[in-house]
Amino acid sequence: MFFIISKLLSFCITPIIWVIVLLFLALFSKNKSRKKIFLIASFATLLLFSNSFILDRAMYVWEIPATPTEKLGKYDVGIVLGGMTDYNEQLKRVQFLRSSDRLFQAIALYKKGIIKKILISGGSGSILHPDILEAALLKKYLINIGLPDSVILMEDKSKNTYQNAVFSKPILQKSAPNGNYLLITSGFHMRRALACFKKQGIPVSPYSTDLYSGPMKWEFDYLFVPDATALNNWNVFLHEMIGCITYKIIRYD
């Protein structure tokens, strides 16, 4: 039930939905003053959430900064959290999303000898296709590109970050008890992930990937020109905010 509710909530907190609702309210409002207010509100909402500068600064405050590779130690397991793929049923293959940087960074860290093993944590993120398990697909992918089966650990039951930590714990305890663990996930997601693993008593070091924020820029288009990408990326930020608040309420972290 929690999984389904989270999907519905994600739809409700989408800024473009707010814009559409406000436009509909303006369209069907019979009061001219109220109609004007709804139109102005929809326009202001669109401008606000399509501004790259505002999004960048919000993400800059929230994201856990990336750790330079040269400052890393050695780790027994790199824990890669899922939520980075779609499965194309027609082509029968996995398709990578932006957050797949998590996996590609883990591969690079393994090749450099920084992590000895890779634990992929992620079950099905689909309500309609619960049998498509992300961890299994990604393990197959890693083997196909040449990584040994012996260095790939898999947790394929989790549906959220809390379960990532819960179901990864026994695997870590069996594979590398009292080991050094590197948690690999997106910068915007790292706060919630760290809290969940801490809650389960799993000491991890953060390794943030696919950062949305960057150095301050004073370019005209960055500061003032509406950007559809920014509008879409606010979904990521707001979803994470709601996720963190929800986890605090139900004491997942």
- What pLDDT sits at residue 117? 98
- What pLDDT sits at residue 6? 62
- What pLDDT sits at residue 130? 77
Q: Quick one: CATH architecture of 69-209?
A: 3-Layer(aba) Sandwich (3.40)
Low-confidence ranges of the chain (pLDDT < 50): none
DSSP sequence for the chain? -HHHHHHHHHHHT-HHHHHHHHHHHHHH---HHHHHHHHHHHHHHHHHHT-HHHHHHHHHHHSPPPPPGGG---EEEEEEE---EEEETTTTEEEE-GGGHHHHHHHHHHHTTSEEEEEEE-----SS-TT--HHHHHHHHHHHTT--GGGEEEE---SSHHHHHHHHHHHHHHHSTT--EEEEEEGGGHHHHHHHHHHTT--EEEEEES-S--S----HHHHHS--HHHHHHHHHHHHHHHHHHHHHHTT--
- What pLDDT sits at residue 76? 98
For 107-160, how does the pLDDT look when each residue is reduced to its tens digit (9 = 90+)? 999 999 999 999 999 998 666 677 889 999 999 999 999 999 999 999 999 999
- What pLDDT sits at residue 1? 56
For 95-109, how does the pLDDT look when each residue is reduced to its tens digit (9 = 90+)? 999 999 999 999 999
Considering the entire predicted model, what is its pTM?
0.91
**Amino acid identity for residue 137 in this structure:** L
Q: Any bridge partners for residue 204, and if so which?
A: 181
| Domain map (residue ranges) of the chain | 2-50+226-249, 69-209
Question: Measured between alpha carbons, how far is 171 from 175 in angstroms, rounded to an integer?
Answer: 6
